[in-house]
Amino acid sequence: MRLSWRNPIAVLGVAALSLAMIGLGAGMAAQKPTPAKAAAGTVKPKSLQTPQTVPGPTTGIDTAARHALIVEADTNTVLFEKAADERMPPASMSKIMTAYVAFGMLKSGRVSLGDELAVSERAWKLGGSKMFVPIGGRIKIDDLLKGVLIQSGNDACVVLAEGLAGSEQAYVDLMNQKAEELGLKDSHFANVSGLPDPQEWMTARDLVTLAMHTIRDFPEYYHYFSEKTFDFNNIVQGNRNPLLYKVAGADGLKTGHTDEAGYSLIGSVLRGERRVVVVVSGLSSMKDRASESERLVEWAFREFNDYKLFGAGDKIDDAEVWLGAAPKVGMTVHADLTVTLPRRSRRDMKVTLVYEKPLPAPVKQGAEIGKIVVTAPETQTVEQPVYAAADVKPIGTIGRMATVAGYLIWGNRR
C-alpha cells in the first residue's frame, strides 16, 4: 500500500486495499485525530451489545405492527425499528426466557434432559395454550422444552418452573435476575407462561437481545425452536411460527398472542453467514403476523448486505515509530471488522485509518494506537481500534542524539 502522510497526523485511506476483496473503491481521507474509542452508538463487530438505532436506512419501508425491530445479528445493526423501546406485553414470546433459564441449568450440569419432573394439579389446571400434561404424571425435561417451545404449553412452563426452582415465583425471580445479567433494559416477568399480567412487559429491543443470547449461548439447545411438530400424549401440535413454513433459512424463535398484545412474533432467519432477527407485535390476525414478518425479513435480505473488511489478526498497515529500535511497527485488529450497509451505499463506503504519526517509542505489543473509521451514506459511522502488532524498544542515548540531530539538519526522522 502506498502511504500519504500529513504531519504530524497520519490518516490513511485504506478502502482500496480492504475493499478489493468485495469489489469496492474508496478514496483517501484526512482528518484530525480523535480518541481511539468507539463513538456513541457505534456497532462493534461480533459483540453482543444492545442493538442501537441507525439513522437513515429505514426509509421506504413501514409496517402495520405497533412495535417492530429488524436487526442484523452479526453486527448488531438495526435495519428498521418502530416503537422498539416502548413497553409491550410479550405474551408467549416471554417463554424464550423461561427456556433460557432451563438451558443454563442443563449446560451447568445441574439437571439433564432425561430428568423427569412431576406434574402438579396447578400446572394441569392452567388455562391457555397447553401441552396437555397429565395430572400426577412425570415428564422428561426434553419433552417439557418441546412442549414450551413447539406447542407453547403454559402447563409445561409451570411444570418446568416448579420442578427446577420449587415454585413458579422462585423461577420468575431467576428470570428477572437473568434479564438483568443479560442487559435487558426494560423487561420484567411476572409469570413463566406469558399470560396477561400488568407486571409483565418487555420491549422489542430487549426481545432481540434475549434472542441473540439464546442463539449464541446455547447452540446445543437452539434446535428446539425450529422443530415443527411435537406428539405428546397422542396429541400432535404444530409450531405456530409461520416463518418456519414459508421463509428459507428460518430457524426460530417464538410467537405470542393475547387480546392486549395482539398477534406477535420474534423470528430468526439464517442464510449463508447472515442472520436477521425480526420482531413484530400488535398485529390484528395470524395472517397479518405471517405476511408482515415474511415481508420485513425479505426486505432486510434484499436491501442490505454484510461486508467483511478485515479479519481478526490481519495486518492493516505499518506505523512509523519515533526514536525506536525499529523504524516501524505493524498495526492489527483484534476482532473481525464486518459492516452492514444498504446495498446501494456500498460504492460510497470509505474506510480510513487514523493514528498519530510518528508513534513515540517505546511501543508495547497490544497497545491501542489508532482506529479504523468506516463511513457510508444512510448508515452510522463504525469505528474499531487498531493495535500494535509487536514491541518496539527505544534506541539508546547515542542513537537518540544522532536521530534528533539528523532530523534537525536534514528533516529525516531516521
Model confidence pLDDT, tens digit, residues 354-389: 999 899 999 999 999 999 999 999 888 999 999 999
Instruction: Give me the pLDDT at residue 22, please.
Output: 36
* Same structural domain, 233 and 108: yes
Element (H, E) at 217: helix 204-217
Residue type present at position 53: T
Greater pLDDT, 73 or 9: 73
* Same structural domain, 153 and 233: yes
Residue type present at position 189: F
Percent of the chain with pLDDT over 90: 79
Q: Is residue 311 exposed (0-12), middle (13-18) or buried (19+ Cβ within 10 Å)? A: exposed
Query: 314 is in which domain, residue-wise?
Result: 9-29+308-410
CA distances from 210 to 94, 121, 141, 218, 414 (A): 10, 31, 21, 12, 54
* Same structural domain, 135 and 242: yes
* Same structural domain, 212 and 347: no
pLDDT at 394 > cutoff 80: yes
Model confidence pLDDT, tens digit, residues 245-270: 999 999 999 999 999 999 999 999 99
| Residue 267 domain flag | no
Grid cell locating 182 = 443479560
pLDDT at 168 > cutoff 80: yes
Grid cell locating 268 = 430468526
Grid cell locating 363 = 511501543
How many C-beta neighbours within 10 Å does residue 177 have? 11
CA distances from 173 to 18, 161, 168 (A): 48, 11, 9
- Residue partners of 392: CB distance under 8 A and separation at least 6: 321, 324, 325, 326, 329, 359, 361, 362, 363
| Residue 360 domain flag | yes
Domain boundary, last residue among 204, 234, 249: 249
Domain boundary, last residue among 219, 234, 249: 249
Q: Find out whether 332 and 366 touch, Cβ atoms under 8 Å.
A: no
| Residue 367 domain flag | yes
Q: What is the CATH number of the domain that holds 114?
A: 3.40.710.10
The DSSP bridge partners found for residue 153 are: none
Instruction: Give me the pLDDT at residue 407, please.
Output: 60
Q: Find out whether 158 and 102 touch, Cβ atoms under 8 Å.
A: no
| Residue 72 domain flag | no
Instruction: Give me the pLDDT at residue 260, please.
Output: 95
pLDDT at 401 > cutoff 70: no
Q: How confident is the model at residue 13 (pLDDT cuts 50, 70, 90)?
A: very low
* Same structural domain, 152 and 232: yes
Q: What is the CATH number of the domain that holds 317?
A: 2.60.410.10
Instruction: Give me the pLDDT at residue 1, please.
Output: 28
Model confidence pLDDT, tens digit, residues 321-343: 988 999 999 999 999 999 999 99
In 3D, which of 270, 267, 245, 246 has the Cα closest to residue 256? 267
How many C-beta neighbours within 10 Å does residue 336 have? 17
Q: How many domains are there within the chain?
A: 2
Instruction: Give me the pLDDT at residue 5, please.
Output: 29
Task: Give first-to-last CA distance, the chain, whole Å.
Answer: 21
CA distances from 124 to 47, 133, 156, 169, 191 (A): 41, 6, 9, 17, 16
Instruction: Give me the pLDDT at residue 17, please.
Output: 36
Residues annotated as catalytic are: 92, 95, 152
Taking each helix axis from N to C end, the angle separating 95-108 and 141-149, rounded to the nearest 10 degrees, works out to 160
* Same structural domain, 96 and 245: yes
| Residue 56 domain flag | no
pLDDT at 27 > cutoff 90: no
Model confidence pLDDT, tens digit, residues 180-203: 999 999 999 999 999 999 999 999
